[in-house]
Structure 1
Amino acid sequence: MKVIGKSYDKKDGLRLAMGAPAYTEDLYDTKEYLTVKLLRSPHPFAKIVSIDTSAALELEGVVAVYTHHDVPKTQYTRAGQNYPEPSNYDKRMLDEYVRYVGDEVAIIAAETERVAEEAMKLIKVEYEVLEPVLDSETAIGHPSVIHPEGVVEKIPSGVDVENNIAATYVLAYGNLDEAFSNCTHVVEHKYYTQAQAHVMMETHRSNAHLDAYDRLVVTTSTQVPFHARRILAHALSIPVAKIRVIKPRIGGGFGGKQALHTEFYTAFVTLKTGRPSMLTYTRKEAFESTYTRHPMVFTYKVGADENGIIRAIKVNGISDTGAYGEHARTVFSAACLKVLSMYNKMDAFDFEGNVVYTNRTPGGALRGYGTTQGVFAIESAINELAHEMKFDPCRIRELNHTQEGETHLVYRASGSDGVKKPIKLIENNKMSTCIEHGKKLIGWDEKYGKPMVNGNKARGVGMALSMQGSGIPSIDMGAAIIKLNEDGSFNLMMGATDLGTGSDTVLAQIAAEVLSVPLDKISVHSSDTDVTPFDVGAYASSTTYITGTAVVNAAEDIRSQILAEGAMMIEEAPEQCEYDGERVFCGEKSINLADLAMKLLYVKNQKQLVGHGSHVTEKSPPPFLAGFAEVEVDLDTGEFEIIDYVASVDGGAILNPKLALIQMEGGLVQGMGMAVFEDVKFIDGKLKTNSLLEYKIPTRSDVPKITVDFVESYEPSGPFGGKSVGEVCINTPSPAIADAIFNATGVRVRKLPVTPEKIILGKLGHDV
C-alpha cells in the first residue's frame, strides 16, 4: 500500500486552524440578510390561546412576524434518516400547542439582530397552561396527552398517543422461564442513563437565499444535506428540484446535526419575503431547543450457570424521547440489537419496552445512538454477576462473547413485527484479542481484586465491552464521482459529509490508492445536493465503510477507462497494457497520464473521463472494543480521579492511523464526560444546565492517560479491510469507570453520572 495505512493530516486542517473562512457564516456577505429569531415557549406544556404581534410589526426594521396561523400545517419529522423515515411525523413548523420549554412560538424576521430581539419582547402571547409530563416512568397513562392531534407513522412503530407512547420495541428468543430455571446465579437491577448534550463548538445555523432561477438555496451546518433537502421539500410543500442544500465545513455535530432545526425557518422567511435570511442558534438555544441523548432506564435480569455461561437475559426498558419522537424507535432498538448481540451463548432472552413522550427537550441522535445507554446497563449487570459468582469480569466475557465465525443470537429472534431476522455471520471479530491486549496494557492481573490503599485513598480497575456497526445494512447508500483533469489530477465528488472527522481525507486516500497516485493529486468536493452524488450523510458509522466502497468502485471505473484510452493512444490492446499511476504502457510504448488527459480533452478522441460508483450492502460489520479503567478514590470525600484508560479496538484495517486515533481519543473523552461530568438537569420542566457555566464537559486538565490499541484485523467486505471506529469508542467508559469505582470502594453506582456525592451516599447505604 502506498497511501492506505499511512498517517496524513486532514486536507483542510491547516487552513481551518489558521482561521480561514470555511463555515456556514463565513461563505456569504450577510450584511443584506434578514436576521431570523424565534420566540420560544416559557412553559413545558401549554396551548396558545392568542398571539398579538401588532406592536412588534410596528417596530422599525421588523420585516415580518409569523405565527402558527401563517405557516404550513404539514406534519413532519426533523430526523435526518432514510426514506421512509422510521421516526414519527409529529412536528410542525409552528403549532398551537407548545410541548417543552424552548418550543417555537413565533418567527421574527428583521433587518438586524438587535431589532429582532426587541421585537420578540413586544409579542404578547396568552397561554392555557397544561399539566406537563415530566417523568418517563409515569408518562404512560398520564392524564395529559402530549400529542392529542395524533401523529403520522411512515413505518409502524407502535405509537399510542393516548398513553404518550411514541414507539414500542420487542425482541425475544427461546423459553425464558426454562432458561432461568437452569441458572445457579441471577442478578436483577435497574440502571439509569441520563440525557447528554452534544456541545459541538459550532451551534446550529443556516442561511437561505433565492438564486437567479428563483430556486431556494440553503447553506447549513448539517450532517445530512440530502435528507435535509427532502425533508424541507415535504415541510414547505415545494418540489425537491426547487431546493439546493450546501454543506460547508462543520464545527462538530456528534449526531446533533443529523436533523433539521434552523433550516425550516430561514427557508420559510426567504420564500415569503424573497430576501436572503440567516438564523444562528445561541448556546442557550442549542442546549434547550435542539436534541439531547435519550435518557433511558433498564431493568436487567441476568442468569448464568455454575460454569459462568450466561443462559438467560430479560430486559425491560423505557426511553424518554421528550416532546417529539425523532429517532425514537431506532435509538431504542439499537440499545437491544447492538448490545445483546455481544453475547450469543444464551438459551433465551427477552427485550421489551416503550419510548415515551414527555414535556422535555427532545431526544435525538447522539454518538453511540442508543448503544451507549444499553452498554452501560448490560455491562454493569454482567460486572455485578461476575462479582456475585466470584468470577473475573474478563473471564466471564471470554466465556460468553460472540466469536469470529459465529452468529449474532439476536438475529435468530422474532421481533414485535413478527419477522424473523436474518442470521448475521461474523466474519471478522477480534474481541478476544482486544480483551487480551487490554488486560496487559492496564495491568489487570496485577490490579484486579487487589485495591491499592494509600492512607484514605483506594484504587480500582474495571472493564466493559462494546460493539457498534458500520452503516445501516440494506438502507445506507453512498455514491462517488471521480473526474480526470488535463494535468493528470482528479476531482473526487461525493455527498459524504465530513463533520470534522477527516473523512474527506480518508476517502481521498482510498481514491489515491486505487488510482496509484499521490494523495495531493486528489481534490475533494463534498456535500452539495446540486453538484455531488447522493449520500445518506454522516451517521451510523457509515462513511468509511459505505462511501469508502463507493469511492473504490468509482476509482476502479475510471482506472479501467484510463487503461482503455491509453491503450488506444499507443495502439495496443488494453489487456496487454498496464497503468501505474504515471503512465499507460506496453513494453517500450507508453503515454504519460497528463498527456493522455490533455489529448482526450483537446486533441484526439475527445471526451471527459468520469468514474462512477455507489454502494449499498446487507452487511454492517461491527467494530469491537474492550475498555479498561483505573481510578483513585478518596474514601473520605468520594472524590475520584481517572488514572488510566485503555481501549483495545478491532476497527478492521486502519486506513489513516492518525485520524483513527483522534476519533478514538475524542470518543473516549466524550464517554468519560457522560460517565462522570455531564448531566442535563431540569427544574419543573425548565432546563437548568443551559450554558457552559452550568453544563460541564471534560477539559484538557480532566483527561487522564489514554492508551488506544488498534488490534490487527481485516474486514473482507470493507474498503481495503476497513470498518468503523467513530462511535464504538464512546460506549465503554461509563460501565468500566462505574465498576472501577465499585472495586475501589464497594459502592455500586447504577444511575449515571458517577459523582462523589453518590459514592458517599452509597457508603451510607443509599441506593445510587
Structure 2
Amino acid sequence: MRFRVDGTEVDVEPRPGQCARTLLREQGRTEVKKGCDAGDCGACAVLLDGTPVHSCILPAARLDGREITTAAGLAPGDELHPVQEAIASGFGFQCGFCTAGMTVTASALTVDDLPDLDRRMKGSLCRCTGYRPIREAIRAATLGPVRETGARADAGAVGGIGTSVAAPAARRIVQGREPFTFDEPVPGALVLRVLGSPHAHARILSIDVAAARAVPGVVAVLTHHDVPATRFSTARHEHRTDDPDDTRILDDTVRFVGQRVAAVVAETAEAADAACRAIGVDYEVLPAVFDADAARRPGAPVLHPELTTDDRVAEASRNVIAELHEGVGGDIDEALAASAVTVHGTWQTSRVSHAQLETHGAVGWLDDDGRIVIRSSTQVPFLVRDEVARLLDRDPATVRVHVARVGGGFGGKQELFSEDLVALAVLRTGRPVAFDFSRVEEFTRTSVRHPMRVAVTLGATDEGRLTAIKLDVLSDTGAYGNHAIGVLMHGCAESTIIYRSPVRRLDAEVVYTNTVPSGAFRGYGLGQVMLGIESAMDLLAQRLDLDPFEVRRLNAVREGDPLHPDPEEEYEEDLVWGSYGLDQCLDLAEEALRRGNDAVPPDGWLVGEGMAMGMLATLAPGGHVSHATATLRADGGYVVHVGTAEFGNGATTVHRQIAATALEADFASIDLRHADTDLVAHDTGAFASTGITVAGKAVHAACLALRERMLEIAASVTGSDAAAGRLAPGGVDVGGRLVGFAEIVAAAGEDERTAEGLTAAGAEFGERRSLAFNVHAVRVAVDPETGSVRLLQSVQAADAGTVMNPAQCRGQIEGGVAQGVGSALYEEVLIDERGAVVNPVFRQYRVPQFADIPDTEVYFAETADDLGPYGAKSMSEAPYNPVAPAIGNAIARALGARPHHQPFTRERVWRLANGHPDPH
C-alpha cells in the first residue's frame, strides 16, 4: 500500500484491523497523538486529501493512494501555517497535547465557517485552555494575516517578570514536534497490558497463566505471586506517611471493578491482549459496598480488615480512613439555637475524571550501568523514583525517572499508576517495556475526584453576621486511600476559615467503598466542600434579603485575622498573611457582573445571577522542597536545571522569566532543563500550585547566587570591590572594564565549574504558606422546559500577587473556570449496581466542548506577596473551586429552587424546575 505523508512517499502494509493513527506513528509521525482512540477528542486529526479526519477511527487500509497532512506538514519547512502562528503567539495552548490535532482541524476552516466555528470545532477537545484563545486565534488566522489576539506574546528582548512572553516550546507544540512520553520511541520496547478484575470485591483463589505464556510473542506474565508483598500508596507526597499503605502492586484480593489482576509483557499489543484473555482466574466473590454512608455502618463489608493505625487507617473495621471531630468557641447547638436566623442544606458532589488528553503511562529500560530508567507522564518524578526504589528494595541512586512534556495533570498524575509495573517488567525481562493506558483504563483504573456529601448549617444575626458554622462532610475515597486524608483535611480547611465565626463545629470522615479509587484533583477537596459552604451562604443572603456580595464582605476573613483559631489544631498553623486581595476581588467581580454584557437569553428562559468566593493556600501543608542550579556558559548563555515537570502549568516559561529578570538577561538566552532526577537534588514535584511559589523561588535563589559569584569573580579579575560591578551585555562591567563571560568562567574555581560552565545552586524549603483568593460570578439562563443551562456571563477576579506572565496566568484561570463549568453542569463518572464505571469514554462522559464555554472576564487584584518570588502567588488550582457553587447559586435564583446534587445536569435541573424529586 502506498500513500503520501507531508509530501513523502510511504510504502507499507498495514496489519489487519489497524487504524491510521497507529500506522502513522509507526512511521515516525508522532505529531499524531493518542487521546481517546474513539474519534471523540481530535488529538489524532490529520488531513485526508485536504479534509480533517480523526485517524484513530480511520482504517489504515483506506490510506492507499491518498495524501495525508499532519500538523508538521501544514506549512513548508520550518514555517508555520497561519493558524499555528496565531495559536503559538496567542497563548492558545497550555499542556499542548491537543494542539497538533487542533491546528490540523482548524487549518481547513474558511471565512464562511466562522459563524459556525463552535460546531465546526466540536470534535476537538481541550482540557486546559477554556477555548477562548484558540477561538480567537482561529478567527484571526482565518480572516487573513495573523492579527492581534486577546492575549499576544509581548515583543521585546528581555521577557522578564510581568511580560506575556510565549512558551519557548510554542512553535514545536503547534507542529506536534514537542515530545510527550511516548513520542520518542525506545527500540525493542515490549508492550505491557493488564488484566482487570470483573468483580468489585473478590479473593483470588487461583490463577492459571500457562495458556497466556504459550501465546506467541509473550515474554512474561506477572501475578501477585511475582511481586513484592510491600504495601504502599499510589499517592505521592513529600512525606510518604501522609497516605495509608493499603495497596500492593498486584494483590490476591481485588476491591474494585477494573483493578489490575495480572500483567502481560509481550512483543506486540495484539499478543499481550490475547494473553490477557487467556489467563484463567478463579475468584471467591465477596460482599461489596458502593455507598459511602452504608460503608461505615455496622455489618458493612470491610475492605481492608488487616490495616491498623500503623498503616494510617483510623478504623478499618468501619472502613474509615480518617476522621475529624473538632469545635471551637463553645457548644455549636447552643450557638445555633441562639442565632436570629439559621439555614441548612446538604449537597452531593460527583466523581469527576481528570480527563487529561494524554493518558497515564511510562516506558522503562536498563541503562549501561544497570540502572532502571523510566520516562513517565508524571507530575512527581522524584517521588516516583523514591517509591519505586522502596518497592523494589533498591538504592534510589539506581533508579532514574525523567519526564518529557506532560499532556495534562490536574493532580491525576501525582500518583504511581504505571511506573511500578514497568520497573518490575524491565527487571524481569531485561528489555525496555512500555505501558500506555487506554482511555477506558484512564476512567476505570486511575483515580477520580472524591465524591462528597456536605451538610452545612449556618447561624447568623439579623444583619447577616455569622454566629455559628456547623459542617458535616462524608468523603468517598473508593477502594484505596490515595490522598484520602489530605483531601479531607484540606477540603474542610480554607473553605471554612475564609469566614469569621465565633463558634464552629466540624465532623468529617473519609471511607472506603468498592468503587474506582478517588485521588488528587484540582482544588484538592476545596471545590466539593465549597459547594456546600458557598451555597449555604447564598441561602443565608436570600433568607435575609441581602446582597450576596455584601454578605461575604460582612463575614470574610480579613488581613491580620487568626488563620487557625483553635490553638490545639496544628493543621493550618503554617498559614501566614503574605498578602490580601479578597476585598479587591469582591469589588472587581461585582462591578463586572453589574455592568453585564451583550448576551441575551432565549425567549422563555429564566435568568439568575450567582457568585461564590474561595481561598487557597499557596502550597501543600507539611513542606515542599525544590532544588535548582544556574550555570553561566562561556558564550554568555545560561542553563537552568530544576526538578519541576511541565504539564500546562507554564512553569517552564515562568522559570525562564525569573532567571532572565534575576540575571538581567534576554529570555532567549535561558536554556531550561527540567523534570529529571539526574539533573538536580530532590524536588517534591509539580502539584499544589508550587511551580512558582517553591520551584520558582529555588530558581530565583540559584540565579541570585550565580549573579553574586559572577560579580565576585569579575571583581577579583580587576582587583576591585565586587559591589562596583554590574551585569552588562557581554559580561560584567567593573568600573568601566568589561570582564567577558568566557573570562569569568575561566577564572572560576575548579569546584564550581561543571562541564557547561560556572554553576551555582539554589534551594527552597517551602514551609510557610500564604493565601490566594478568587471570586467567581455568573449570569445564567435556564430553560424550565428542558433543564438546559446557558452561561450568559462568566467573571473571575483573582488575587495572584504579582502576575508574572499576564496572558499565561489569564489562561490558567480560564482553564480552571472551564473545568469548573464541566463539573458543575456535565461531568459525572457513573457507577452501576456492580460498582463498574458505565461511561468510560468521552462520548459518554461529557467534557466541555467549544460551544459550552463562553469567554470569561478575568480581573486581577493588585497585591504583592511576601512569600512568593517577586511578590507572586500561585494560580493554577484556585480558579476551579468557586465556579460550581456560583453556577448553582445562579440556577437557584433563576428557578426559585435550589439544586443540591452536582453536576446540575439537564435532567436534574428539569426536575427541580418542575417540582419532581431527584431520583439520584
Distance 1:73 1:717 in 2: 43
Is 1:355 matched up with 2:510? Answer: yes
Read off the aligned partner of 1:536 and give its amino acid letter. Answer: T
Matched-pair contact (CA < 8 Å) for 2:256–2:516: yes
Read off the aligned partner of 2:230 and give its amino acid letter. Answer: T
Matched-pair contact (CA < 8 Å) for 1:24–1:248: yes
Distance 2:480 2:622 in 1: 27
Q: SS where residue 776 of structure 2 aligns? A: strand
Quickly say closer, same or farther: Cα 1:420–1:107, change in 2 above 3 A. closer
Quickly say closer, same or farther: Cα 1:119–1:599, change in 2 above 3 A. same
- For 2:437, the equivalent position in structure 1 comes to 281
Q: Deviations over 1:62-90 (max 9, x none)?
A: 11111111211110111111124311000
Matched-pair contact (CA < 8 Å) for 1:403–1:426: no
Is 1:538 matched up with 2:686? Answer: yes
Distance 1:413 1:343 in 2: 17
* Aligned partner (choices 238, 241, 244) of residue 82 of structure 1: 238
Q: SS where residue 15 of structure 1 aligns? A: helix
Distance 2:604 2:384 in 1: 55
Matched-pair contact (CA < 8 Å) for 2:538–2:548: yes
Distance 1:446 1:556 in 2: 46
* Aligned partner (choices 538, 552, 565) of residue 383 of structure 1: 538
How far off its partner does 1:473 sit?
A: 4.6
* Aligned partner (choices 751, 764, 775) of residue 615 of structure 1: 764
Matched-pair contact (CA < 8 Å) for 1:405–1:427: no
- For 1:626, the equivalent position in structure 2 comes to 775
Distance 1:17 1:446 in 2: 33
- For 1:678, the equivalent position in structure 2 comes to 827
- For 2:665, the equivalent position in structure 1 comes to 517
How far off its partner does 1:405 sit?
A: 2.7
Quickly say closer, same or farther: Cα 1:11–1:606, change in 2 above 3 A. closer
Matched-pair contact (CA < 8 Å) for 1:187–1:301: yes
Distance 2:334 2:898 in 1: 30
Q: SS where residue 763 of structure 2 aligns? A: strand
* Aligned partner (choices 780, 787, 790) of residue 641 of structure 1: 790
- For 2:913, the equivalent position in structure 1 comes to 763
- For 2:174, the equivalent position in structure 1 comes to 17
Read off the aligned partner of 1:389 and give its amino acid letter. Answer: L
* Aligned partner (choices 450, 455, 479) of residue 627 of structure 2: 479
How far off its partner does 1:149 sit?
A: 2.7
Quickly say closer, same or farther: Cα 1:598–1:699, change in 2 above 3 A. farther
Read off the aligned partner of 1:633 and give its amino acid letter. Answer: V
Matched-pair contact (CA < 8 Å) for 2:327–2:506: yes
* Aligned partner (choices 112, 130, 136) of residue 268 of structure 2: 112
Distance 2:711 2:776 in 1: 47
The residue correspondences of 1:703-714 to structure 2 (distance < 5 A) are 703-714=853-864
Quickly say closer, same or farther: Cα 1:606–1:40, change in 2 above 3 A. closer
Matched-pair contact (CA < 8 Å) for 1:56–1:62: yes
Distance 1:454 1:239 in 2: 65
* Count of aligned pairs between the two proteins: 756
Matched-pair contact (CA < 8 Å) for 1:664–1:725: yes
* Aligned partner (choices 700, 708, 712) of residue 552 of structure 1: 700
Distance 2:245 2:237 in 1: 12
How far off its partner does 1:533 sit?
A: 2.7
Give the aligned CA root-mean-square deviation in angstroms.
2.2
Matched-pair contact (CA < 8 Å) for 1:172–1:413: no
Read off the aligned partner of 2:786 and give its amino acid letter. Answer: T
Quickly say closer, same or farther: Cα 1:556–1:479, change in 2 above 3 A. same
Distance 1:698 1:56 in 2: 41
The residue correspondences of 1:65-464 to structure 2 (distance < 5 A) are 65-141=221-297, 142-150=299-307, 153=310, 156=312, 159-175=314-330, 176-344=332-500, 346-408=501-563, 410-412=564-566, 414-415=568-569, 419=570, 422=573, 424-443=575-594, 455-464=603-612
Distance 1:759 1:676 in 2: 10
Matched-pair contact (CA < 8 Å) for 2:159–2:657: no
Distance 2:455 2:898 in 1: 15
Read off the aligned partner of 1:105 and give its amino acid letter. Answer: V
Distance 1:256 1:663 in 2: 17
How far off its partner does 1:516 sit?
A: 0.6
How far off its partner does 1:453 sit?
A: 8.2
Is 1:48 matched up with 2:213? Answer: no
Quickly say closer, same or farther: Cα 1:35–1:730, change in 2 above 3 A. same
Matched-pair contact (CA < 8 Å) for 1:412–1:420: no
- For 2:3, the equivalent position in structure 1 comes to none
Q: SS where residue 182 of structure 2 aligns? A: helix
Is 1:753 matched up with 2:907? Answer: no
Q: SS where residue 274 of structure 2 aligns? A: helix
Is 1:736 matched up with 2:886? Answer: yes
Distance 1:221 1:453 in 2: 43
Q: SS where residue 201 of structure 1 aligns? A: coil
Matched-pair contact (CA < 8 Å) for 1:44–1:359: yes
Q: SS where residue 490 of structure 2 aligns? A: helix
How far off its partner does 1:188 sit?
A: 1.3
- For 2:134, the equivalent position in structure 1 comes to none
Matched-pair contact (CA < 8 Å) for 1:194–1:680: yes
Is 1:726 matched up with 2:876? Answer: yes
How far off its partner does 1:21 sit?
A: 4.8
Q: SS where residue 814 of structure 2 aligns? A: helix
How far off its partner does 1:474 sit?
A: 4.9
Q: Deviations over 1:686-711 (max 9, x none)?
A: 10110111100101111113111111
- For 1:7, the equivalent position in structure 2 comes to 164
Q: SS where residue 733 of structure 2 aligns? A: strand
Read off the aligned partner of 1:354 and give its amino acid letter. Answer: E
Distance 1:23 1:453 in 2: 42
Extract unaligned runs of 5+ from structure 1: none
Distance 2:785 2:754 in 1: 80
Distance 1:334 1:407 in 2: 17
Matched-pair contact (CA < 8 Å) for 1:487–1:595: no
Quickly say closer, same or farther: Cα 1:606–1:194, change in 2 above 3 A. closer
Q: SS where residue 682 of structure 2 aligns? A: coil
TM-score, normalising length: structure 1: 0.95
How far off its partner does 1:39 sit?
A: 0.4
Q: Deviations over 1:201-256 (max 9, x none)?
A: 11001011111111111110100000001111122222212111111111111111
Q: Deviations over 1:446-472 (max 9, x none)?
A: 99xxx9987421211100001112112
How far off its partner does 1:320 sit?
A: 0.3
- For 1:499, the equivalent position in structure 2 comes to 647
Read off the aligned partner of 2:380 and give its amino acid letter. Answer: V
Q: Deviations over 1:522-569 (max 9, x none)?
A: 100001111223211111111101111111111110101000111122
- For 1:37, the equivalent position in structure 2 comes to 193
Matched-pair contact (CA < 8 Å) for 1:88–1:151: no
Q: SS where residue 56 of structure 1 aligns? A: helix
- For 2:840, the equivalent position in structure 1 comes to 690
Read off the aligned partner of 1:542 and give its amino acid letter. Answer: T
Q: Deviations over 1:708-736 (max 9, x none)?
A: 11111111221001001101100111111
Read off the aligned partner of 1:614 and give its amino acid letter. Answer: A
Matched-pair contact (CA < 8 Å) for 1:165–1:355: yes
What percentage of aligned pairs have identical amino acids?
Answer: 33
Read off the aligned partner of 2:487 and give its amino acid letter. Answer: V
